[in-house]
A and B are shown apart, each in its own frame.
Chain A
Amino acid sequence: MIAARYYDGRTARGHEVRLRLRSDLLLIDVAEGVPLANWPINEIRRSGSWEGRGPFALLCEAHPDARLLLPDGGSAALFRSMVPQLAAAERVRNRRALRWVGLGTLAAVLAVALVYEAVPRWLAPAIPSSWLEPLGDTLLAGLEEEHALCADSVGRQALERVANRLAATAGYDGKIRVDTLRWRELNAFALPGDRIVLLSGLIDQAEPDEVAGVLAHEVGHVVNSHVNEAVLRALGVQFLLTFLTGTGDLAAAATALAGLGYSRAAEKEADRFAVAAMRAEALRISGLRRFFRRLREEEGRSDIPSWLSTHPATADRILAIPDDPLGVDPFTPSEWQVIRSTC
């Protein structure tokens, strides 16, 4: 016999009651043998939290508004020992919750893998580059605010001729546009919408065949859909973040797009493309190798560790490019003169 307080769910008036068990019923009596309510044992649930002390609240699924309150930890423990079904039901619930957490963790890992790796890789080749042209234009316009565009039709034509001939060796039918920015960095990158941007630092410091090698490498990113992949990845991550946190910061999306990085595997693929395409066009391959050496010297001087850099000029990357001095120059001397003097 346990003393408890009973609320019938219709008013907040409490009833001091005594609890008795009879087979599968909990009898709630106001006084000896005067019944107030009967709860089927299997429908009794703990209501609210309980950490082993303080009042213990119970409800019955058949009367969801009514409450039974055991006043303290002692009577709660006594009740729980009398009704082992309660603890058993809790154990089942806990096990089920644990299973859901496990499934949720798995789903989370899967979602990240899908958004970050699989979906961009599957979808990237299927997206026509023309769809991404406006995005490329926006990004280039953003860069132009900080670095002037070096405009010259002869230089641009020469660079685009080389880029598109290299792309054609892989059967790529898009039209690649090449721009040069006044920016004293030894670098180049590809933008969405079949755009390649060379920086004046590269053109000032490197030889023509090095520039052609870098161009071939960037064309490799374009024809292998690495740019589309990076855009999809950035959008996917942004989507996931919007969905998870509920706040969509689109400025962050634009920043993420601007910092399009590729995986090491993509870099190696672009290198392989560059070598094959230059060989097919009978261009001199050793330029790219020389450029990577130059890049490594530059990196040696800077404090940025190579694993943080998106274009690490690692030794194995350099060694993978044949040191083949044969082949023709990519540009005529007058073209090179124009390219170099424009910026």
Chain B
Amino acid sequence: MVAVAAAPAERIAPERLVYTGELRTLYRIAAVNLLLSVVTLGFYRFWGRTRLRQYIWHAILLDGDPLEWTGTGWEMCRGFLIAAAVALIAYAPIYTLTLAGPGFEILLDVYQIAFGAVVLVLAGFVAFLALRYRLSRTRWRGIRGDLEGSPWPYAWRQFGWWLLMIPTFLLAVPFATVALRRHLIRQARLGSLSVECQARGGAVFPAFLVSIAVGAGFVGLLSLLWSVGAFGAIVTAVLVELGSAGSLGFVLILVFATLIVSAYPCVTSIYHASLYRHLAESSSASGLSVRTTVTAGNLFGLRFTNFIIIMVTLGIGLPLVWHRQLRFFAEHTAVIGIENAERIAQAQNKPTRASEGMLEILDIGAV
């Protein structure tokens, strides 16, 4: 009976994504990277990042086989140098106008506004190129990833959505996010494998509204507690004055601080868990699909603990945070129909040469 019951369960066993990384190895790599980056004025960071990615990618097993990071430090360094040179040229008029003395303030303002507009359009362009770089340097079973197509449609889409943000009072956020992610998911490739994505912004909009409502509730609760806390502090002061020191004020302040600290991860977890689930459920690729068990609750648990770790360790806990994040997403993500992966063939196009240098320049942030 047991064997019969176990057999079908085994066949659809969803544990196809495993993270095998070790915390102490992450710490060792991070420590060496930090040390060498400092003594080389930061130039080691490209090789350090490469080393870290090599380790993390290799620690993620899909159906028993590791991902592979094939990017090189020099490639990233070169991309950064080119981007830095472009940035220096772009900054040159600002330098010149600053040095040119009084009377050029208006010209300086005009240039800086134009500069800002160009950066806004370029942000999407650069994000696309950076993702293309990362996918094209990622392999699984020797098959190379990629991001198809031109970066410009993505850049203009993102710019357009940004323009919509203010007139819609940010209510366009979930629609913008889903539309942009959907675009990227549809362009993503693993060899010959492409992904269909039918995600709709409307599907995550309720969760977005709930997030906002919870956020507003938090603010209301906090203001209420604040007044009570102030009241409590007065009561405590009176009690102390009378000789019986109470700790009511202290407890209230503690509750208050905990609520503040947990507000942001809690509010965003509701929306982000919904976003993650919806994107996963509405994407599929010739017999392969992703199932996730991420919920607002477990995502909040992860984020809240990570937040506390960073606050308490003043950043020294960062590798622990990475570790927990990787473990979390591996645990809560399953690839269904992995046996269909056999049909994936290597793509014939050449991998991109551009790296993610501009991303760093525009300060969008990258791992």
Contacts and interface: CB of A to CB of B under 8 A. Distances in A.
Interface string B309-337: 00000000000000000000000000000
A141 B102 contact: yes
A307 interface: no
A244 B41 contact: yes
Interface in A86-111: 97, 101, 104-105, 107-108, 111
Given A5-B65, A48-B69, A11 B346 contact: yes
A49 B58 contact: yes
B250 interface: no
Contact of B68 (A54, A57, A253): A57
B80 interface: yes
A7 B102 contact: no
B346 A135 contact: no
B346 A9 contact: yes
Contacts of A59: 142
A66 B142 contact: yes
Interface in A62-105: 65-67, 69, 71, 97, 101, 104-105
B114 interface: no
B346 to A, nearest CB: 5
A50 interface: yes
Interface string A212-237: 00000000000000000000000000
B248 interface: no
B298 interface: no
A257 B99 CA distance: 10
B98 A254 contact: yes
A50 B69 CA distance: 12
Contact of B143 (A12, A57, A133): A12
Nearest to A47: B68
Contacts of B361: 246-247
Contacts of A247: 87, 361, 363
B25 A51 contact: yes
B264 to A, nearest CB: 25
A46 to B, nearest CB: 10
A10 B346 contact: yes
Interface stretch (B88-96, B180-188, B227-235): B88-96
Contacts of A50: 58
A242 B43 contact: no
B40 A104 contact: yes
B360 interface: yes
Interface string B207-243: 0000000000000000000000000000000000000
A105 B94 CA distance: 31
B39 A51 contact: no
A55 interface: yes
A242 B68 contact: no
A248 B142 CA distance: 40
A137 B40 CA distance: 38
A159 to B, nearest CB: 23
B342 A13 contact: yes
A12 B141 contact: yes
Contacts of B27: none
A253 to B, nearest CB: 7
B68 A244 contact: no
Given A7-B141, A66-B142, A134 B100 contact: yes
Nearest to B88: A242
Chain B's interface size range is 35 or more
A216 to B, nearest CB: 28
Contacts of B69: 48-49
Interface in B167-221: 191
Interface string A190-229: 0000000000000000000000000000000000000000
Contacts of A51: 22, 25, 55
Contacts of B42: 244-245
A199 B342 CA distance: 80
Given A248-B94, A250-B94, A250-B95, A105 B39 contact: yes
B62 to A, nearest CB: 10
B346 A250 contact: no
Contact of A10 (B98, B102, B345): B345
Interface in B136-150: 139-144
A134 B101 contact: yes
A14 interface: yes
A138 interface: yes
Given A12-B140, A12-B191, A55 B101 contact: no
Nearest to A192: B99
B344 interface: yes
21 contacts: A5-B65, A10-B345, A11-B342, A11-B345, A12-B143, A48-B54, A54-B59, A67-B139, A67-B141, A67-B142, A69-B66, A101-B40, A108-B40, A111-B41, A134-B101, A240-B41, A242-B91, A243-B84, A247-B361, A248-B91, A250-B95
Q: Which 3 A-B pairs have the closest CB atoms?
A: A134-B101, A49-B54, A108-B41
Interface of A: 5, 7-14, 47-51, 54-55, 57, 59, 65-67, 69, 71, 97, 101, 104-105, 107-108, 111-112, 133-135, 137-138, 141, 239-240, 242-248, 250, 253-254
Given A47-B70, A66-B142, A246-B363, 15 more contacts: A7-B143, A10-B346, A48-B54, A49-B58, A49-B69, A54-B58, A55-B61, A65-B144, A101-B36, A108-B40, A135-B99, A137-B101, A138-B98, A141-B102, A242-B88
